[in-house]
Structure 1
């Protein structure tokens, strides 16, 4: 339990911290401020840091002062203290530079940076990532292990990474991947460290990936069980239960018969992929961090429209929000949504809706590539969410609002330092029916055009029972043949 801010113990602790962080440094020397507002992302002089800590308080989870030079200590299973440094990490995987670079990018630890160890203690919640540090050094150790004695081409980690790359490129099923692992275990020497199944292999390298959330929803698209409704057992709008009433029989006998066990299966589930760690990963990767400032540093501004940054909407946004535009690393996003049939059978009535985001900071030849597009939400069918899509967009909008107002501490692999990353959604991209779902505008009535609205020239076809826009030529030249 932290000492009260006004207590003598707290004031003495602050003085001890300042002595540790600044020492005999000159008065104008700055250090990261660990107060609850600066969260180690802003640096100030000694006097300002002392004032902030007395007024705002210190981060309660900031127990290892790794932003101020304290070394990390990780304990192994035998409770022996292991001290790691960046130099040691760089030496471990020198025989596999690609795996070394992948690990450093994934965990934000880069050789030659004075803030490497500092970033180990920065997470999405601005608290030390002891668990991530353990995952990092666990993968480092696996990168050192040979696949089998005498194998100099692959380590245990690089072998699994390349296998997963083949699985993705070849679109293998999990069952076929398990069969391949079983075959390799019979072909390679018995001492080869080959996992027994896809699940075991995925578990070994899961720390390299980014997590996602499964969120329960009402089958009628009324609400989602998230936030303040996370523990609700029925829909507040239509009163439908959260769970399917399904039961399974256990094989164990119970008083002469089979025991009936109730299994809670959610009525509907959709997938949400948190945005903040994915934006952070763009700057943690040494190959993409520099490109995230391309629109500001390398774009040719000659009046031609080659990039969204050349558009009038982008420029007007910069004029209205000068503080946001002052840092070119702040991310501009576009949102796209549409439904598709994942079963490749047009006769099947099914519509799954993905919500994707495009980071427009990247160069025009990069921002629309499949590997640059960020999958945010996946809404399963069989029916489209329609105008109720806003229910499923709530987690994303909550995260976007926080990124706009507060931002998140992020490590820039290009500049080798921390900064406060913010993001803004500039526009949406969709077809006309999709526009109606995202905006709530009725695209099937008389005023279907959101630009013309009441000035739309439309005629209702009595027998066809639909609206026709035959005389609406507002944006066409008079001699147009259309």
Structure 2
């Protein structure tokens, strides 16, 4: 517990700090400091010192007289760990605390409920912020809009609608109710304190240098064993040489996806999370769940789609600050330094790629115009492949797109035959769906690799669709639109399509060729 508190409050200070002194075992111990009332101090630091001393007392106070295994603070942290690992409810946690206090009356001044327990350990830091959001995904009540009561796009109220005693529906947040219940709340986990905490620990601060210190011979550098061996990393370092000079500068990757928190397949609910991965760590650590940084939790029954940029505003704001740098303490070097960080790329499946990049993932219009190219089937194409557009080219194109965040009242366009009917796919213009918020980062347009497709995730989805079609499951792709698309693409319709005009279950004529193709791919 002592080591945890020292790391959390940066007590591993260098020798020139006035309130610490060295012991014989090379540890630094705190020396009481008398504050002069005539001198101006940074009272946030003084308050932090008081908090540290309070937690230190709790960590040294025995759980009960004669207890040698637990202090009050360590026992409480163990209980919270069990609650999280086993998904205890708050009510069950309260019942356990009451039982412990009833069975062991010698435990004095121990919190009797989840609320008081949370108050005791919240000073360890690394909490999260609740940010109200418009239920239509138009805006966040954050920054300059913090005190607004209505959405500035469609005028939707910030608060939930409630019924009074006369069953009259009214909006909370009016003059009669100063603070109502928000209609939608996003959870944001600040990034800067978490990166600072990484460098406050002696072990993790040393691991964050691995990509620079643990280099092998010249022949081994040709092997791609870490993102630092890739061209995208090297191109970034070459362009931003001042950033690359300090190996402590953090390189981040971002991943986002939706999930159903209720574990019910018959309930449609899509909560989206945004995760960050620090790539400074060695390969056996950076992809461990304990190394992931949870950034944002976006609630809602459906995907935010293109409006995900609204919820990424706090993260992008912190990334801008981290590009310039913030003051942090390095426990390994025992010195303060300028902590900088940069986002190198995003990792997503196809729907997530559409949402974060604003680029098109739909089929090209030529895909449904095979009759115009039928004469060239079987011939060679000698025209050079088009050059890949740079980030600057994409930014120039996306700036022409006028996208209004939020759910518009315009009816959705009818989908054309042969196009994917995924719920996450949206109508797009020639330049994409929007200007990605990541272009607000000054370095983003020059990144060599901005978006990465999660191959394993995509293979999983494709496999589920194939098996669902073969076994007539929920994820079957055997519908009337799919069969008409096969005819449009001139796939052997008399073999692949059944005679049932209404689609329905997968007929043997479609199931058998798919099964043979699947077996051939597996080599069986």
TM-score for both structures, normalised by structure 1: 0.68
The equivalent position to 1:230 in structure 2, one of 141, 146, 153, is 146
- Residue 8 of structure 1 corresponds to none
Q: How much does 1:267 deviate?
A: 1.2
Deviation at 1:195, TM superposition (A): 1.6
Shift of 1:330: 0.3
**2:398 maps to which residue?**
none
Q: Does the aligned pair in 2 maintain the 1:105–1:284 contact within 8 Å? A: yes
> What is the CA-CA distance between 1:117 and the residue it aligns to?
4.5
Q: 2:89 aligns with which of 162, 173, 181?
A: 173
Q: Which of 331, 336, 346 is equivalent to 1:413?
A: 331
Q: Could you tell me which of 238, 248, 254 is aligned with 1:319?
A: 238
Q: Which residue of 1 aligns with 2:204?
A: 288
Structure 1 pair 451–108 and aligned structure 2 pair: CA distance change class (3 A):
farther
Question: Shift of the alpha carbon at 1:347?
Answer: 1.6
Matched, 1:376 2:376: no
1:232-277 CA distances to partner (integer Å, 9 max, x unpaired)? Answer: 111111111111232567xxxxxxxxxx978611111111111100
Report if the CA contact (8 A) 1:247-1:261 is conserved.
no
- Give CA deviations for 1:351-400 in whole Å, capped at 9, x if unaligned: 00000100000111111111110011100011110011001101100110
In 2, distance between residues paired with 1:410 and 1:448? Answer: 54
In the alignment, is the contact (CA less than 8 A) between 1:148 and 1:191 conserved in 2? yes
Greater relative contact order structure (CA < 8 Å, 6+ sep)? 2
Q: SS where residue 288 of structure 1 aligns?
A: helix
State the secondary structure of the residue aligned to 1:337: strand
| Aligned partners of 1:109 and 1:116 also within 8 Å | no
1:208 equivalent to 2:111? Answer no
Aligned residue for 1:106?
Answer: 8
Contact 1:114 1:416 in 2 (8 A): no
Partner Cα separation in structure 1 for residue 125 and residue 148 of structure 2: 31
- How far apart, CA to CA, are the structure 2 residues paired with 1:380 and 1:451? 40
Cα 1:261–1:396, aligned 2, differ >3 Å: closer, same or farther?
closer
Matched, 1:197 2:116: no
Structure 1 gaps of 5+ residues are 1-98, 250-259, 454-458, 472-480
Matched, 1:152 2:71: no
Q: Structure 1 residues 362, 389: closer, same or farther in 2, change over 3 A?
A: same
The 2-side partners of 1:396 and 1:467 are apart by 43
* Contact 1:234–1:241 (Cα < 8 Å) also in 2: yes
Do structure 1's residue 279 and structure 2's residue 195 form an aligned pair?
yes
Among candidates 135, 149, 160, match of residue 51 of structure 2:
135
Question: Which residue, out of 341, 357, 361, partners 1:439?
Answer: 357
Whether 2:63 is the aligned partner of 1:161: answer no
Query: In 2, distance between residues paired with 1:108 and 1:273?
Result: 20
> Deviations for 1:126-156, whole angstroms, at most 9, x for unmatched residues?
9842222111000111122222222233221
CA distance in 1, matches of 2:246, 2:314: 26
Equivalent residue number for residue 383 of structure 2: none
After superposition, the Cα gap between the structure-2 partners of 1:305 and 1:229, relative to the gap in structure 1 and judged at 3 Å, is same
2:61–2:72 contact (8 Å) kept in structure 1: yes
User: Which of 281, 284, 305 does residue 386 from structure 1 map onto?
Assistant: 305
Instruction: Tell me the equivalent position of 2:270.
Output: 351
CA distance in 2, matches of 1:154, 1:359: 33
SS at match of 2:74: helix
Give per-residue Cα distances to partners, 1:162-198, cap 9 Å, x unaligned: 2222222323222222111111112213343432111
Tell me if the contact between 2:101 and 2:107 (Cα under 8 Å) persists in the aligned partners. no
> Is this contact kept in 2: 1:246–1:263, CA < 8 A?
no
Secondary structure of the residue that 1:424 maps to in structure 2?
strand
Q: Secondary structure at the match of 1:338?
A: strand
SS of the residue 2:291 aligns to: coil
SS at match of 1:266: coil
1:308 matched to 2:227: yes
1:429 paired to 2:347: yes
Which residues of structure 2 form unaligned runs of 5+?
21-27, 34-41, 166-175, 368-385, 390-415, 420-480, 491-519
Separation of aligned partners in 2, 1:190 and 1:225 = 48
Q: Does 1:242 align with 2:158?
A: yes
The alpha carbon displacement at 1:115 in A equals: 4.0
Distance 1:460 1:169, change over 3 A: closer
Q: Distance in 2 between matches of 1:370 and 1:248?
A: 46
